Amino acid sequence: MSLRRTVSVVGTLYPYEDVTLSPKVGGRVIRAFKDVGDRVGPGEPLLELDDTEYRLAVDQARPAFEAELRKLKLTTLPATDAAFEQWLPRVDAVAEAKANAELAESELKRAEREMASGVGSRQILDSASNRLTVAKTRVQVAETDARVTLANARRLKAALDDAERKLNDTKLNAPNPPEWSAWLKELGPTTTPLKYAIAQKMVSIGSPVESMPATSCYRLVIDHALKFGVTIPEKHAPEVIVGQNVELKVEAYPNQTFAGFVARISPTTDTSNRTFGVVIGVRNGDGRLKAGGFATGEIVVRSDTVVTIPPEALVQFAGVNKVFVVDGNKAKVVEVGLGVRDKDWLEVTGLPAGAKVVVTGQSQLVDGTPIRIR
């Protein structure tokens, strides 16, 4: 007969994903949108904190930032320093300083021409030269002031962004991980759309929430698929491989078998008990299995063709297992090794397939005893 070889396992069913969420800011809960047992999709709101303080911070940060932009005649910050350098001549203070420098330069040239023609004076020439030097210095100062204003605007923009981020963080939403589409593909069809299930709600309206240390607010799980975590004796390491089928049972459904598969195998052995860990994937699209529950399973490692005998044909004496087979008209003793035992059959080794075994009267037989088949 063909006999399936299995490795028995026991363990706990874990969610496919398990995440505990906390707001990034502190405050008092004013709204809680979901409760235990509800399902939420990525990005859906879970709770909201009082945002009065954070809204005021935004209202204070925005005017200060916008005032610095107005000094530079900008509506938004330039993307790069090079872009600002091209914009720099349009800043009022810089434009005025450059205009004064150009005027001083033209006056110096006129004084030089008058001096060359003999109608000018050294004093007027020196005065024009000094005014040009001062004007160029004022251009440099104006440009430096504009760059300082830009740096301050960037600092205020960072403060505004931080204030707006904190205001946004007063709303706690379900995560939207990039691997969501991969989960959809891996979990396959489910009776309800793939969503997080709320396993725990730790806060209520009016509850204070702290950001440091973080106050846990919601625990979300994905239970359309489960992870069955088990440990297996290291002697079975050569037999267990990824992809093998697994049959599971739980106490809640004693007469049903649930299908699983070997998903991951630990590359190391625990030296304290000489076992290695295995994660078994279990699809749970109908939601009948509960995360955290206890389960037993059988990993189907292979199928063998084996020889079996009726259990009553086995003779055991002094630690020796044997059967009597029919050899012509005599009984012949054959020592056998024992394998899997069932109610109606017993696996043995060392016995040829198709051999006729004696099932009654063995206690009166020895090797070579004449027999008569009834």
Reported as a single tens digit per residue, the pLDDT across 49-105 is: 999 999 999 999 999 999 999 999 999 999 999 999 999 999 999 999 999 999 999
| DSSP assigned state of 201 | E
25, amino acid identity: V
Q: CB pairs under 8 A, 24+ apart, for 317-323? A: 321/348, 323/348, 323/351, 323/357, 323/358, 323/362
Q: What are the E-state strand segments in the chain?
A: 2-21, 27-32, 39-40, 45-49, 171-173, 196-201, 208-209, 218-233, 245-250, 253-265, 275-283, 294-305, 307-309, 315-317, 320-327, 330-335, 337-341, 346-349
Q: List, for residues 249-298, the tens digit of each pLDDT value.
A: 999 999 999 999 999 999 999 999 999 999 999 989 888 999 999 999 99
Are the beta carbons of 313 and 330 closer than 8 angstroms?
Answer: no
Are the beta carbons of 336 and 350 closer than 8 angstroms?
Answer: yes
Give the model's pLDDT for residue 297: 95
Give the model's pLDDT for residue 367: 83
Classify residue 168 by burial, with Cβ atoms within 10 Å: 0-12, 13-18, 19+.
Answer: middle
Quick one: CATH architecture of 307-364?
Beta Barrel (2.40)
Highest mean pLDDT among 121-130, 261-270, 316-325, 345-354: 261-270
Least confident stretch, 141-145, 163-167, 322-326: 322-326
| DSSP assigned state of 215 | P
pTM: 0.71
Statement: 18-51+172-220 belongs to CATH 2.40.50.100: yes
CATH code linked to domain 2-12+223-305 = 2.40.30.170
Classify residue 217 by burial, with Cβ atoms within 10 Å: 0-12, 13-18, 19+.
Answer: buried
Q: List, for residues 183-220, the tens digit of each pLDDT value.
A: 888 777 777 788 999 999 999 999 999 999 999 999 99
